[in-house]
Amino acid sequence: MFNTIIKTSIISLIFNLSITSLNFFFGLYFLQITRSAFIFGTLTIIGPLVSLLLTPIMTRIVDTVSHKKILLISQIISFVFLLVYLIIVSEHLDVETLAYVYVLMIIIRVSEELFIVTLKASTTQLVEKHNYQRLNASVQSATSVANIIAPVLGGLAFSLLTLPFFISLIIFLVAVSILSTSTLKLDVIHRVMDTDKNSFLTIIKFIKSRPEILSLVIIAMFINLFASSITIGLPVLVIKQLSLSKLVYSFLESLASAAMVLGGIILTVHTIKDNLKSMYQSMLCFTIIIVLFGFPELITRNYLIIIGFLGILVVVFGLIVVLANTAMTTYLQVEVPENKQGGMYSIVNAVSQLFVPLGGLCYGLLFDRFESYQVFISSGLVAFFIIIGLLLLTKKRIVKKV
């Protein structure tokens, strides 16, 4: 069982590293060729849009087709189109070939989304129930490592490697991931093939019938929105408001990433006793962290104290993200029927990802118009009352249902 957890985590690491570094690499090329931040930004919107538009289709596929087949096919699609791109596109990108990149990235993001949703829904077939959390936490750590390394790898490749060589490297990594996936052993589960029992609307009805699951989906939506206050606001606070160096900002970003990796490792050995309770508690702590980000520039001008305080906040933020993600994923794997998990994760991913660019847009405007402490404190308080309201409403609906 331990070998399965390690192997699954490595597959997730390799595939996520390949796709994320490729996306970063092409993003830099877009920026260099077009000189347009807007066009550069469109690459970040592809994922959320794909998730949203294809949610009903992914629901049907993941909940009716063999998960191992989906995991393999989703990666093979990426492999084939990368190979086709390598063959038909010239050595250097230019304005005329950018359309090919868009098509390639859309196809790859579709396959990546299908891979991610299917992998989450496959946990119940890969390990026994008492190992769900360990597998989720291990995959979370692998994803965090990929997110740390990918921008570095993409940046170095952009500076040092030719386009054909880098694409060839990504093709090789995807091939390794495919071969590794082929060795995974998944238990076969009964698939309900009736369309009515596996339709998108059926999953929506199931979510609405379970108040605590509905609240988790809504909270995930709002948390991704409010998390942008930190991802957008941290560089504004550190560089613009406090006039600290970019090195300090990079250090704080590294701390957050390291905390996510560490949190995942901790959760592979420490069992969460109550996933639902841990999820709610971590979200309330998250709102407090947002509020506290507004305090440094109000309470002191001692830069050493400020950096230390922000360092603690970003570490706690990273740990909370991992705890919340692991607790929520594990809870859904236990509570949602296996033949509905694909639809559930498709919806959660689509809703969550959609609010990331929306949050970036909203907080970009807010930080331009208001002082950072005003945005942080007000955002944290609004998030706190929204979550408290959802918890009270959920408790009321559960009592009424009983």
How far is the C-alpha of 90 from the C-alpha of 336, rounded, in Å? Answer: 48
Q: Which domains does the chain have, with CATH numbers?
A: 2-129+144-184 (1.20.1250), 200-401 (1.20.1250.20)
Q: What is the pTM of this model?
A: 0.82
Do residues 11 and 72 lie in contact, with contact meaning Cβ atoms separated by under 8 Å? no
Q: Which residue has the tokens 């995974």?
A: 184
Return d(Cα 295, Cα 345) in angstroms, integer.
Answer: 36
Contact present, 134 and 4 (Cβ < 8 Å): no
Give pLDDT, residue 36.
61
Six token digits for residue 22? 């490729």
Task: Classify residue 228 by burial, with Cβ atoms within 10 Å: 0-12, 13-18, 19+.
Answer: buried
Q: Residue 195: its pLDDT value, please?
A: 45
Q: Distance (Å, rounded) from C-alpha 321 to C-alpha 329? A: 12
> pLDDT value at position 193?
46
Are 89 and 30 in contact by the 8 Å Cβ rule? The answer is no
List the chain pLDDT tens, one digit each, 402 residues: 668 889 999 999 999 999 889 888 887 777 777 666 556 666 666 666 776 777 788 888 888 888 999 999 999 999 999 998 888 775 666 666 777 777 888 888 888 888 988 998 899 889 888 889 999 999 989 988 888 888 888 888 888 888 889 999 999 999 999 999 999 988 766 554 444 455 678 888 888 888 888 888 888 888 888 888 998 888 888 888 888 887 888 888 888 888 999 999 999 888 888 888 888 889 999 999 999 999 987 777 788 888 999 999 999 999 999 999 899 999 998 988 888 888 888 888 877 777 877 888 888 889 888 888 999 999 999 999 988 988 888 776 665 554
Bin 162: left if φ > 0, else alpha if -120 < ψ < 50, else beta: beta
Maximum Cα–Cα distance across the chain:
65
